[in-house]
Chain A
């Protein structure tokens, strides 16, 4: 059906993907490439906007899914600097590019275009309003475009509807997150400031970002995403926006704020169940963001691709039950799931560290050259744990 407004019709598709973010567009593209009839819906008027993301990602891991295009690369990173509460800096660097800051307004749209060119139908300002259930199977969704309600019968529904996900919950899968397992975040895009365009900066400390971190991610010459995430359980009288404004007042008092975003980033580790009969859950909806960094773009694309492949298998076998969809769980949990679970346990320990502990950790790395092909938590922990056996005692068993 060509892209025109729905007028009270009922539709039929092999796969309906709810949400055109990285997970949804990858799932839709993959399923369409495998010959399925795919519908991709997005509740917002625009795909990719507003951006609810710090936009940072590892370069090598992104390249596994998509050819790099300067159209959506805002900055290329050679390294990272992590600042302890007392200002001691830990530098991680490489001679080559290790990370990218994306322009997600363009990136997300390009991903959706790839899905469209692969054959998926795409509808914007179209919001899922419910799931169609029959005999314990998800058989489609109800949706609304502008103010017109309609039904979509679908053999498989892929819920890629983000942190505020509802589709999975409507199907009976509880995806609620605890306050201690989600970061409350606020970010400004600030222009006309002195920044180092090759480095991503991270600030730690209970007075700067309790239970999380503050980031400065370059977006171009003299501009950066400056944001903070605090643990939901530590939010209260002071909120993410307060911590951010406090930092900016000191560091960038003359910066010009040209964009503001807020958001929640799940750091819960993966949900227990990401499938149901006729349903696959991927991306932030499945809480697949990294519990330590909050990074979720590549994880979402990885899971979305597997979701598309497994949906195609289910359609081919004409079996949409969890027996077949279990392949999705088996595949993503074997690699990504294990990493998320490990990082969750690390995050739980890191959340207990005092400012004094963090200062000691940073001090222990003074004079240590930390080269990294790709910035990762593993690299850092491998250097920290042997040098700080007492503070990081609980982490010793968790290192690979």
Chain B
């Protein structure tokens, strides 16, 4: 489960661009991660502010 820290997120959509499964959508100011996320963590690496993390 990858979650977004909404206080850090700058809603830029960079994570959307790099997701190989197209599991992320940017809905104006909210990042939404869908069920087809396979936790490859590419988005976590991409984020300019480190707003994404694996939540267990």
Contacts and interface: CB of A to CB of B under 8 A. Distances in A.
A164 B13 contact: yes
Given A44-B28, A176-B19, A162 B13 contact: yes
Nearest to B49: A241
Interface string A2-33: 00000000000000000000000000000000
Nearest to A265: B14
Interface in A134-155: none
B1 interface: no
A109 B45 CA distance: 33
A44 B17 CA distance: 18
A159 interface: no
Contacts of B49: 186, 239-241, 262
Contacts of A185: 14, 48
Interface string A264-287: 101000000000000000000000
A163 B46 contact: no
Interface string B8-38: 0010111111111010011110000000000
Which residue among B20, B25, B50 has the maximum number of chain A CB atoms within 10 Å of its CB? B50
A127 B28 contact: yes
Interface in A105-153: 125, 127
Contacts of A125: 28
Contact of B46 (A45, A162, A182): A182
B12 to A, nearest CB: 4
A391 interface: no
A251 interface: no
Contacts of B50: 239, 241
B13 to A, nearest CB: 3
Contact of B10 (A163, A236, A260): A260
A379 interface: no
Interface residues of A, number: 34
A188 to B, nearest CB: 12
A238 B49 CA distance: 9
A288 interface: no
Greatest chain B CB density within 10 A among A125, A177, A185, A236 is at A177
A176 B27 CA distance: 18
Contact of A263 (B19, B25, B42, B48): B48
B20 A184 contact: no
Of residues A44, A184, A240, A260, which shows the largest number of chain B Cβ atoms within 10 Å of its Cβ? A184
Contacts of A236: 45
A63 to B, nearest CB: 29
B42 A179 contact: yes
B2 interface: no
Given A235-B45, A241-B49, A177 B10 contact: no
Contact of A166 (B16, B18, B20, B28): B16
B12 A264 contact: yes
18 contacts: A44-B28, A163-B14, A164-B17, A166-B16, A166-B22, A166-B25, A177-B18, A179-B45, A184-B48, A232-B45, A232-B46, A236-B45, A239-B49, A262-B14, A263-B13, A264-B15, A264-B17, A264-B18
Interface of B: 10, 12-20, 22, 25-28, 42, 45-50
